[in-house]
Structure 1
């Protein structure tokens, strides 16, 4: 679906990849309802774009009532809703599942999966009513490849992947297209925004290529315009997608060794 002339809702729009998605959509002629729990973050996004094409909405996607009220709010501001990009998400503390607090597990699942599901269910009736529309859910490379110390995060993003593919099948006979995005390592502040301590970077970490949020946004919007079901962002996501299919055990062991070095007690 073309972006130009369409109204897009973007969550997590106050920073990082969400902010760049807002900028990219507006640069390509779209209008955007930017959603984030941070009023200051949304204000920062607004400073970077044509505000005649933007509205900002301070909403926490874990708030059922606020999410339920949002479609009416966006439609009142823009007259229609053509696309939803569920980008908001957090990671977990870098610890094994057995050491992870119940509250951390519930928070990750509530934001990453339940928030995506809640937003999708709230907006789908509006999208189905349009001549054409697009639902985009941001999963992760961790949604198809296991990373020790991020197992619950990965499970939440794997759930987003299967939810998106199920919605794709259910909506085939409608005008709504569905895409699921698998970003690799993106140079954003997701660790800080998640309230998680960042493990000390090693020399090997410095050699790991990261995709800029600006480039990630371009790749995602290109994929939307091509109606792609799966959108891989970054060479690492592409390679890991191949590795887990071709040599899953070897690939998992390789990543486990790399993560073990990074999470060793002397390194944190």
Structure 2
């Protein structure tokens, strides 16, 4: 689905990949409803000063179903319709083993990463089905197909997004709604820089982190080309291949590549 003149909804729009998605969609002449939770409002306002009523801002805690369910009506009241959603928002867990995590932290990661994506799809799907063409893009993670050290709950939440999205694609294959699942590798965002994670060899060709600008461009291109599956970054592509070839070996490699501080 080409995004020009379409109304697109982007979660996690306040920073990183989300803000770049909003900016690039606007550059492609889409209208954008930017969903933020607590931060990023000033950055979005700066885009509004350039693009005017082509962008709207909506606050919602994606872990709160009531917050999400009110969004479609708000956005339709502003833009008239909804043609696509990009479920980009996500959070990492604390870098701790399952044994050391408390249930509150576990619940929050699952609520935002998986249930937030589910609530968005359930809330917007009836409206998308009424459009001539529409699209759902869900952002999982390389951690959704490959376990990451001390991120077991995060990986589980992103694996749930993977399977949910692939099932949704199967259900919607004979409809007007396309579905794309995205697996970013390392992306140089505040989420990663503030997480206490160090990647060995990040300057090497295979494991150099993507910029948010590069990641957003890959995601939009995959959506516009109605791709079933998008691997964003050389690390995601390499580890996807290795994991299919030898899952245990791939797990050993990622464990050796990542050191927690």
Task: Sort the TM-score into its range (normalised by shorter chain).
Answer: over 0.9
8 Å contact from structure 1 (residues 34, 42) kept in 2: no
Deviations 1:161-215 (A, max 9, x none): 00000000101121000001100000111147xxx7514x476456541100001
Give the one of 198, 204, 214 matched to 2:196. Answer: 198
Structure 2: how far apart are the matches of 1:121 and 1:185? Answer: 29
* TM-aligned CA deviation for residue 46 of structure 1: 2.9
Matched, 1:145 2:146: yes
User: Which residue in the other structure is 1:120 paired with?
Assistant: 121
Compute the displacement of 1:254 (Å). 1.9
Q: Structure 2: how far apart are the matches of 1:81 and 1:73?
A: 11
Question: Is contact 1:36–1:58 with CA below 8 Å preserved after alignment?
Answer: yes
Is 2:247 the counterpart of 1:248? Answer: yes
1:136 aligns with 2:137: yes
Contact 1:17/1:213, CA 8 A, preserved across alignment: yes
Distance 1:186 1:114 in 2: 23
Task: Return the TM-score normalized by structure 2.
Answer: 0.94
Task: Tell me the equivalent position of 1:19.
Answer: 19
Q: Aligned partners of 2:154, 2:53: CA distance in 1, in Å?
A: 36
Tell me the number of residue pairs that the alignment of Structure 1 and Structure 2 aligns: 257
Inter-partner Cα distance in structure 2 for 1:141 and 1:78: 34
Aligned to 1:7: 7
Kindly indicate whether the alpha-carbon contact (under 8 Å) linking 2:7 and 2:84 is maintained by their aligned counterparts in 1: yes
CA RMSD of aligned residues (A): 1.6
Q: Summarize deviations over 1:134-154 as a string: whole Å, max 9, x none.
A: 001000000001112111101
Unaligned residue ranges in structure 2 (runs of 5+) = none
Note the C-alpha offset of 1:102: 1.0
- Residues 165 and 179 of structure 2 are in contact (CA less than 8 Å); yes or no, is this contact kept in structure 1? yes
Q: Distance in 2 between matches of 1:245 and 1:64?
A: 35
Deviation at 1:47, TM superposition (A): 0.7
Gaps of 5+ in 1: none
Q: Name the SS for the 1:162 alignment partner.
A: helix
Q: Give the TM-score normalised by the residue count of structure 1.
A: 0.91
